[in-house]
Every structure is written in C-alpha cells, then in structure tokens.
C-alpha cells in the first residue's frame, strides 16, 4: 500500500516516529482535557510517499468525506499539521467538547469555530513539543477548516515547491466510549525533508555525546 | 550500590536518550535494553533486573500491560512508565500498578528523582 522511496535511514525514521509520538501524546492529553474521556493512540507511522498515497492512507477505513483542521508551520523545516476525521463524526466531536446540554442547532452553529479552536489546541500541543524537542522555533499559522476527500486535503498549495513526494507521518486516535476516531498527520515536502534530516542528525549526535 | 536497569522502548532513539541520561546521572549502573514486552520479560527472567523503565505506546503489548505482567513476577520492583501521554487514566493506571510516571520528553531531573526514590526503596528491602 505504501510507496516508501527510501531517503530516510532506520534511525531517522525511528527518531521522527518517536518525536511525533511525543508530540501527539501531548496533544492527546490536551484533547482528553477537552472531551473528558480517555483518548487512545496508535503507534506512529512514518513514510515518504506520493501525495496520492498519502490521500489513500487518509481515507483507509474511513468514508472519503473528511473534515480537517490544518495549520501550517514554518521554521527550519515547514509543512502542515492536520487533525482529520470523517465528516460524519465532526458534530459528535464538537458535542463531546461543548457538552451534551447544547441543542443540535447550537452545535451546528458552533461547529466551524469549535473545530478550529480544538484543532488549534491539539496541533499546537503537538508542534510545540516537536519544536522543543528539536530545540528549534516554529511559527504556526491560524487554523483553518477544510472539507473534502484525501486528495483535496493533501493537494499542493500555491506556495508548495514542485514535487510530488511528501514525508507523511500519522497517528490514529479514538475517543474511548464515544464514536469518534480520526488521526493527526504531519505533511512535509522534499526540501523540508532535507532540512529535517539535518536537524534530526544533530539531535541524534547530541544524544551520543 | 550498583543496580541493573531494564530500559524498554520500541524506539531506539528513545533508548539512546535514556542511556545518555544514565551516563550523566548514574554512570556506574548497568543497563539492559529491550525493544518490546517479550524481550523485556526475557531479560527479567534471565538477568537480575533491579529497576525497570517502560515506554507506554509500543506495538503489541503496551507499557501498562507489561508492567502488569512484571508485577506478577516482581510485586515490589521499582518500575516507571515513561510517556508523553499525560492523560489522567494512564497516570491513574500507573499508580494502581504501584509504578511511577516519568514524562517524556525525558529530563535528567525527572529521571534522577525517580532513580533516587527507587534506590532508597531497594536499600530498605535488601
């Protein structure tokens, strides 16, 4: 299913998975505070794949109608962080955050704003942990909500450099005892992968000293 | 007193971070590494491990399940669950298993505090 194209050594993959795992685990703890229920996580997957393969991975097991909160990050490496779940579950997620006492109309009114705010808290927890671990600072954009299939979510933006390959890093999450599941994904293009390899190399060298 | 420590983490990088922290704060202690629960249980049955540090999010058996199994063999061994997953349920389950919780990203201070407490308990029971 995946189309890994090499480029990352085993230790680099391991390092990225572990660093992402720390970021997403922190993010899950923030989500847990918001929904009041335990959030279960999968182990992370890291691959260099085509955008199409990333889109297929995003749709795997889900309906192709997805909703995502995305934030761009910029720094020594740049990319996008996305909190993604099936569109059918977005109201349930909002409801689990704002509480059951609100009417469906209220929840629908709140949906866009609640999604953006939830994404902002979760993605910031994730990216800030990664930035701290790598001792680099990153600027983060405001969150935006996008809807569509995997290809829409991962389509290159005008600012993206040419090239179809991306570093795709994802972890599944499930909110225990509610029917909400989704995943957190990080997407980086090739120039960023090169920069990231250097930073991860520095990080690994720093440990060995 | 010199102790033998078991480090369980599926990430080699995470084990390297841990080993390097030990080199700074407890350079004389002996370290045994395991990449999953099976390796960890094998190491515990074949070596005399004094203290275990266990990652939570691992493929297959997770860290809490592993600590539960360690408890069947060693009811009082000082054990810490090491994770960035600071959710209430994870920490509560860690306490139920009479284990400590050490947060990732790992700091020398947090590891050192756990190890000092562990060494104290081992001295009392020996």
- Give the pLDDT confidence of A151-190 residue by residue, as tens digits: 999 888 777 766 788 889 989 999 988 888 888 999 988 8
Range of the domain at A59: 10-208
Number of Cβ within 10 Å of residue A164's Cβ equals 12
Look up residue A78 and give its two tokens. 């740049």
CATH code that applies to domain B4-125: 3.40.50.2300
Domain total of chain A: 1
Strand residue runs (E) in chain A: 39-41, 45-50, 66-74, 79-86, 139-140, 144-148, 165-175, 180-189
* Residue to substitute from A15, A21, A28, interface B, most B β-carbons within 10 A: A21
Structure confidence at residue A67 (pLDDT): 93
Mean pLDDT of all residues in A13-38: 91
Determine the Cα–Cα distance for residues B87 and B103; give it in Å rounded to an integer: 11
Please tell me the predicted confidence (pLDDT) of residue A96: 85
Distance from CA of B36 to the nearest CA of A (A): 13
- The whole-number pLDDT of residue B97 equals 98
pTM: 0.84
Q: What is the per-residue pLDDT across B59-86, written as a single tens digit (0 to 9) for each?
A: 999 999 999 999 999 999 999 999 999 8
- B85 and A28: CB-CB below 8 Å? yes
Domain CATH for A109: 3.40.1550.10
CB-based contact, B59 to chain A, within 8 Å: yes
- As beta bridge partners, residue B101 has B81
Domain ranges of chain B: 4-125
Contact B97, B90 (CB under 8 A): no
Cα A129–chain centre separation: 13
Cβ neighbours around B102 below 10 Å, total: 20
Question: Does A64 fall in a domain?
Answer: yes
Residue A43: inside a domain: yes
Task: Note whether residue A176 is domain-resident.
Answer: yes
Of all residues in chain A, the one with the smallest CA distance to B24 is: A209
Say if B24 is an interface residue toward chain A (CB within 8 Å): no
Alpha carbon dihedral B104, B106, B107, B111, in 10-degree steps, equals 100
Which residues in chain B are closer than 8 Å to A129, comparing Cβ atoms? 84, 105
B chain contacts of residue A11, beta-carbon cutoff 8 Å: 12-13
The two structure tokens encoding residue A25? 């685990």
What is the average pLDDT across A83-111? 84
């Amino acid at each position: 299913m995946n189309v890994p194209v090499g480029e990352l050594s085993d230790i680099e993959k391991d390092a990225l998975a572990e660093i992402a795992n720390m970021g997403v685990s922190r993010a899950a703890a923030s989500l847990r505070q918001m929904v009041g229920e335990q959030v279960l996580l999968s182990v992370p997957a890291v691959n260099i794949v085509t955008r199409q393969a990333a889109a297929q991975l995003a749709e795997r097991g889900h309906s192709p109608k997805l909703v995502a909160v995305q934030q761009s990050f910029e720094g020594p490496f740049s990319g996008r962080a996305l909190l993604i779940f099936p569109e059918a579950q977005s109201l349930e997620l909002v409801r689990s955050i704002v509480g059951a006492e609100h009417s469906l109309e209220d929840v629908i009114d709140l949906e866009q704003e609640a999604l953006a705010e939830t994404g902002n808290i979760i993605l910031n927890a994730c990216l800030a942990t990664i930035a701290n671990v790598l001792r680099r600072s990153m600027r983060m954009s405001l969150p935006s909500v996008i809807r569509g299939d995997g290809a829409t979510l991962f389509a290159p933006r005008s600012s993206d450099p040419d090239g179809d390959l991306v570093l795709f890093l994802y972890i599944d999450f499930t909110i225990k005892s509610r029917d909400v599941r989704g995943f957190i994904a990080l997407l980086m293009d090739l120039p960023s992968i090169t920069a990231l390899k250097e930073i991860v190399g520095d990080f690994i060298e720093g440990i060995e000293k | 007193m010199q102790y033998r420590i078991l480090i369980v983490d599926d990430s080699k990088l995470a084990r390297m971070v841990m080993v390097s922290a030990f080199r700074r704060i407890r350079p004389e202690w002996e370290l045994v590494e395991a990449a999953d629960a099976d390796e960890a249980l094998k190491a515990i049955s074949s070596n005399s491990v004094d203290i275990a540090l266990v990652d939570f999010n691992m493929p297959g058996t997770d860290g809490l399940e592993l600590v539960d199994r360690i408890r069947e063999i060693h009811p009082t061994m000082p054990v810490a669950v090491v994770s960035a997953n600071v959710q209430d349920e994870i920490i509560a389950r860690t306490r139920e298993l009479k284990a400590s919780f050490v947060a990732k990203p790992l700091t020398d201070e947090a590891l050192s505090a756990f190890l000092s407490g562990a060494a104290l308990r081992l001295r009392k029971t020996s």
